[in-house]
Structure 1
Amino acid sequence: MHRKTIFALTPHLIAINLFNCNTNPAKFIKLPVANKDVTLRLRGLIYHGEFHFTSRIITRDGKLWFYDGVTTGGTANLEGFIENISERELRECKGRKIVLAVYARK
């Protein structure tokens, strides 16, 4: 699916609904803003399964963190670096399927 939208101003944050989509979340997206492309980086992923949500957070330095309040309590666990995981591997996490991808400016 392709849809072209031109922004007058660069959004700080974009959330993309991936529920029931058979697609891999991209590690970055380019948005046309005025007369140039602006790159937004993947910063978060929300997964659903077993009647609750879990998440992955990607920091500016590329660290990939996993959070599940049921199993990790109030802490997030470091999984590695975003550069070492494929976009296909981001589609699922611990048996749960992706429902939302969050992108932000640098």
Structure 2
Amino acid sequence: MCLQKKFIDRHPRRRCTHCNGEVDQITRFETVPKVLAFAVDDASVIVSKKISIYDGETRLVFKLKGVVYAGDFHYISRVCVDGVVWLHDGMVTGKNCKYEGKLSAFNDSDLSTCNGKVLSLVIYSQK
């Protein structure tokens, strides 16, 4: 829902100079990218394990690949590979990642926060 609002951004106070109608800013892709990354600054946003975009002919599915969280002047991340979730916190695990479990075991709310930190960036890629 958050993405739908972002791709069709309503500007009711702006008016068309030709017809005086409301102006909408619609984001379109000439070529749909293979990777989508979204910076998040709204604590109410919930991470989805997959998103889809209809390109006019087919429905393109993007799967969750990573999430970055911020808090207390520190960033941590979850990396999703082949249905498995790995946690990276350089201050705790150094250059290693810690196994957290299968992605199917997480619900969308579980993915929106991590160790007291809040969602900052989410990354998806096409199948």
Q: Scaled by the length of structure 1, what TM-score is found?
A: 0.91
Shift of 1:12: 1.2
For 2:119, the aligned partner's letter is I
Tell me if 1:56 matches 2:78. Answer: yes
**Based on CA coordinates, which of the two structures has the bigger radius of gyration?**
2
Query: Counterpart amino acid of 1:26?
Result: S
Residue 100 (structure 1) aligns with? 121
Match of residue 14 from structure 2:
none
Identity of aligned residues (%): 28
- Show the counterpart of 2:98: 77
Q: For residue 24 of structure 1, what is the aligned residue in structure 2?
A: 46
Is 2:36 aligned against 1:14? Answer: yes
In 1, Cα distance between equivalents of 2:41 and 2:102: 25
Are the aligned partners of 2:53 and 2:61 in contact in 1 as well (CA < 8 Å)? yes
Q: How many residues align?
A: 105
CA displacement at 1:37 relative to structure 2 = 1.2
Could you tell me which runs of 5 or more consecutive residues in structure 1 were left unpaired when the two chains were aligned: none
Q: 2:36 is matched by which residue type in structure 1? A: I
Contact between 1:8 and 1:34, CA under 8 Å: does it hold in 2? no
- Of structures 1 and 2, the one with the larger relative CO (CA 8 A, separation 6+) is 1
8 Å Cα contact 2:50/2:63 also seen in 1: yes
| TM-score for the superposition, normalised by structure 2 | 0.76
Higher helix share: 2
Runs of 4+ off more than 6 Å: none
Question: Whole-Å Cα distance in 2 between the matches of residues 19 and 62 of structure 1?
Answer: 26
Q: Quick check: 1:6–1:32 contact (8 Å CA) kept in 2? A: no
